[in-house]
Structure 1
């Protein structure tokens, strides 16, 4: 696998960039509808998973259809204020098994 991701346009993205965003510092009472309103402005969303347990409340995963839409959302919404809280938006980094 290449160190950089290639696209149809030939533009290269760093390997950390992907379609799945991990969002922290969300208001505990935010709804999925609110999340679609906020994140949907940046592109088509495949899935949103809000944390519901005591250890995952205030977090969510947002999966975009397109990697460039995810990149735009991450850059635009990191630090965005929602209900008095500043969002922390990161690219999801799956844990590597066996290491």
Structure 2
């Protein structure tokens, strides 16, 4: 349980706060046990995923059981120096992932909306006359 919030769990959190933390700028040689030691101080961890490929190395996802524990870990570990590297700890936002949009489908959708609103505008002009 989070020490900072105690038993008062009625505190309203910001909308971007969630149980999943994205950790960047990790030392490449940090072990899973060291990660559990570091992040486990703030509460029970449900899951931890560390990047293993060249593109994802130095990043990890840490999922806490409790949102207040995740908030405390994020607040305390942001900028924390681990093996000479300063951690970047963020709340994971799934809706901010880059979305690939099919340009032709999007253009067709816009054209349909224009036709619909043009016809509505003509109907409104006819009603006024």
Fold shared per TM-score above 0.5: yes
Distance of 1:13 and 1:21 partners within structure 2: 15
Aligned to 1:79: 79
Query: C-alpha offsets along residues 56-84 of structure 1, whole Å, 9 cap, x if unaligned?
Result: 00000000000000000000000000000
Give the total of aligned pairs.
92
Structure 1 position 9, deviation (Å): 3.6
The structure where strand makes up a greater share of residues is 1
TM-score, structure 1 normalization = 0.86
- For structure 2, the residue ranges without an aligned partner over 5 or more in a row are 1-7, 102-129
TM-score, structure 2 normalization = 0.67
The structure where helix makes up a greater share of residues is 2
Which structure exhibits the higher relative contact order, with contacts defined as CA atoms closer than 8 Å and separated by 6 or more residues?
A: 1
Structure 1 position 14, deviation (Å): 1.1
Aligned to 1:95: 95
Distance 1:98 1:57, change over 3 A: closer
Distance of 1:19 and 1:61 partners within structure 2: 10
Distance of 1:78 and 1:19 partners within structure 2: 15
* 1:9-88 equivalences in 2 (<5 Å): 9-88=9-88
Q: Which structure has the larger Rg over C-alpha atoms?
A: 2
Q: Which runs of 4+ in 1 moved over 3 A?
A: 96-99
